[in-house]
Chain A
Amino acid sequence: MTGTIVSVCCGTGCSAQGAGEVLKKFRELLPADNMQVKAVSKMTGCHGFCERGPLVVIRNDAKSIFYQKIKAEDVERIVEKTVLKGEIIEEFLYEDEVSKTKIVEEEQVPFYKYQKRILFENNGRIDPTDIKDYTDLGGYKALEKALGMSPDAIVEEVKTSGLRGRGGGGFPTWRKWDSCRKSQVSDTRYIICNADEGDPGCFQDRSILEGNPHLVIEGMIIGAFAIQSNKGFIYVRAEYPLAVKHLEIALNQAMAKGFLGKNILNSGFDFEIEIVQGAGAFVCGESSALMASIEGRLGEPRVKHIHATDKGLWDKPTALNNVKTWASVTLIIKNGGKWFSSIGTENSKGTMIFSLVGKVRNTGLVEVPMGITLRDLIFKIGGGIIGGKKFKAVQTGGPSGGNIPEKYLDLPVDYEALTEAGSMMGSGGMVVMDEDTCMVQVARYFLSFTQEESCGKCTPCREGTYLMLKILDRFIEGKADENDLTELEKISRMVKETSLCGLGKAAPNPVLTTLKYFRDEYLAHIKGICPAKVCPALIKYEILEKECTGCTLCAKNCPQDAITGEKKKPHVIVQGKCIKCGICLEVCNFGAVTKI
């Protein structure tokens, strides 16, 4: 089509910054039925570069112009100049931090340049509520192809691809499917899409479901055909209303087009998908707890030696896979298993989507080939640490993962390498921390999350994590001693080894990795020092007499009235009243407040 398409990112991140208003304005100025201008505006899903939202990409056959941080009042200018005349408006362009050059093309923006976007490829191009956009770009052709293959052949293709579970386990997908379809327990089989993305800081699955739900649905239908299952479930967190909405629309549209339901594309194969919403329990991301939840029961996991591929949902053979896994299946059948296995490392094939967040300049979702180094991810794509501070650690795998220090920055990101370093791939969370981060606080933060989400069934997870938390509190308050360190390590190891399910087994990981790589910080806390100057009990805020102009701004904002001083005279913080909230440091325009 010769014409211009204006893609407005309406993922949750950009929507929160007013993308809805931006889209509305575009629609006003570029009505869908306009004859003069060959340009349309399109609502798209998450583009991934959330730091710079709202994002607008103007595409025609020649190029794709990338505009960032667009407000509704900018739209008129954009339409007038860029859409109608092809003129670039410099102020909306991305500027490279180092070279200070402005970049026009989306593909040249460093954030995108070093990615390999196969799952996210079309997120910025299609309207997720219009199946025609998906089919126009070749959607559901993979399904057509699969229906002409035998289940054996499909499983073989997935085997060739080397696809491993993207929910964190990394289990070979073809093996799970094979066990399920060969199970003697019953002919009734189920497939499940685990969209209970609970790791704080992770939103890849949400973005795929919001932005390109058909990619996942198509993969599920293909998998169902290979396993010979007639019923599938998508279990989505309750906290993802937009994803649920888009999935509902997509399922209805797919049904209407004959891609779902009875006798799919005249193949004789029946398959339907039901959406089940979570009810607010992180533990329901664990397969057996998820299935219990679908059954309407408490999300209590069960012992692992009963395999879900034999006795899963309602005790029937079930294949559960993550959103990204199902999405990858579609591409594997479309482009071939061999193509997929050409990306990545020897044992970790394909791409992985990381949610790169924390103290990096460019936060957002990045899709990269397995095997890229942490350094490239954080510095090339992520743009390095904000404010030029020093990198300290990166937490991968969410609350079940571990913290990786600087010496491992050249580690290739794949399942084995991350596990060897004491962390894990998990569902792709990547939180970057700098010199101002206290690693003891980080361990406590992640542990408090898993502790709260514990279902409470087994003793070690329920009680052990709580005990660990209390010990960490002693470190943070400066009340810990050597015995606490030994006790913490002992309990951590035991919780890891004796818990019933993955939540408990992995809960101590942040503690164990920080103990391994940042032991010196724990030892410092025992001496009453917080090296990163974070723990309130171990720091002091002071006003530098020389720098203080007596503007009274800090005193006015202090919630405890702990700052005294006359106008135009240096102020003083009354230590006894100070609660270390840090507001004074934030508001001071003269850099006169310091932390020691």
Chain B
Amino acid sequence: MTNLIRVLQDIQRECGYLKREKLEEVSHRLDIPMSRIYSVATFYKSFSLVPPAKHKIMVCMGTACYVRGAPRIVERITQVLGINPGDSTKDGNFKLETVNCIGACALGPLVMIDDDYHGKMTPQKIVKVLEKYK
């Protein structure tokens, strides 16, 4: 049984997002109605229908990080970059996301940029950290 989610995960991994042409190919080759594919693609958060930004900022909003001030870090990033969680900067350099618990709770507040972990973050420190990725 071909699992639609698995197919989409492969495409997401390869292309960085779900390209419309690829989805149409899936619909055609696996004989799955396009509306079903689009439903699944928009239901699960790990899929993106738009091309990825150069750097992905993930601010952990898990309980431990939250209790240690994660929302203020998000506010600061919004101020500095002019984007809300879920959006990308106009120049395509940064995408801001809040995630629910990365699982490194003792390091909270935790901010991940691409594969780099930045622990014990504060609203001031984050500005300097962002500079490194500009």
Contact = CB atoms under 8 A, between A and B. Distances in A.
Are A and B direct contacts in the complex by CB distance below 8 Å? yes
Interface of A: 12-13, 16-17, 50-53, 198-203, 206, 238-240, 276-282, 293-299, 314, 355, 357-359, 363-364, 395, 429, 431, 433, 437, 445, 449, 455, 557, 559, 579, 581-583, 586-587
Interface of B: 1-6, 8-9, 39-40, 43-47, 61-64, 66-67, 69, 72, 75-76, 79, 99-107, 110, 117, 119, 122-124
B103 A12 contact: yes
A191 B43 CA distance: 25
Given A295-B3, A357-B64, A280 B103 contact: no
Contacts of A53: 106
A50 B107 CA distance: 8
Given A279-B46, A437-B67, A557 B106 contact: no
Contacts of A203: 101, 103, 105
Contact of B119 (A17, A200, A282): A17
B5 A279 contact: yes
Given A293-B5, A297-B40, A280 B45 contact: yes
B9 A277 contact: yes
Q: Which of the listed residues B61, B67, B69, B107 has the most CB atoms from chain A within 10 Å of its own CB?
A: B67
Nearest to A582: B72
Contacts of A199: 101
Contacts of B45: 279-281
Given A279-B9, A363-B105, 16 more contacts: A13-B105, A13-B107, A200-B63, A200-B66, A203-B103, A238-B46, A277-B6, A280-B45, A293-B5, A294-B3, A295-B3, A296-B3, A296-B4, A364-B106, A559-B79, A587-B124
Given A281-B44, A431-B63, A200 B5 contact: no
B106 A13 contact: yes
Contacts of B105: 13, 50, 201, 203, 355, 357, 363
A357 B6 CA distance: 34
B106 to A, nearest CB: 4
The 4 A-B residue pairs with the shortest CB-CB distance, nearest first, are A280-B45, A279-B44, A280-B46, A201-B63
15 contacts: A13-B106, A52-B106, A201-B105, A277-B9, A279-B45, A280-B44, A294-B3, A298-B39, A299-B43, A357-B64, A429-B63, A431-B64, A559-B123, A579-B75, A586-B124
Contacts of B3: 276, 294-296
B58 to A, nearest CB: 10
Contacts of A52: 106
A581 B44 CA distance: 33
B5 A557 contact: no
A330 to B, nearest CB: 23
B76 A559 contact: yes
A429 B64 CA distance: 11
Contacts of A431: 63-64, 67
Contact of A433 (B46, B62, B67, B99): B67
Nearest to A434: B67
Given A206-B103, A296-B3, A200 B62 contact: yes
A431 B67 CA distance: 9
Nearest to B118: A16
Contacts of B76: 559, 581
B59 to A, nearest CB: 13
Contacts of B43: 281, 298-299, 455
Contact of A200 (B44, B47, B100): B100
A298 B110 CA distance: 31
A429 B79 CA distance: 33
A203 to B, nearest CB: 4
A143 to B, nearest CB: 29
Contacts of A363: 64, 105-106
Contacts of B69: 582
B117 A16 contact: yes
A534 to B, nearest CB: 10
A364 B103 CA distance: 10
Nearest to B12: A279
A433 B63 CA distance: 10
Contacts of A201: 62-64, 101, 105
B23 to A, nearest CB: 14
B122 A586 contact: yes
A53 B119 CA distance: 12
A387 to B, nearest CB: 12
Nearest to B58: A239
A278 B9 CA distance: 9
Contact of A17 (B6, B99, B107): B107
Nearest to B80: A559
B64 A583 contact: no
A276 B4 CA distance: 12
B47 A198 contact: no
A477 to B, nearest CB: 15
Contacts of A581: 72, 75-76, 123
Contacts of B63: 200-201, 357-358, 395, 429, 431, 445
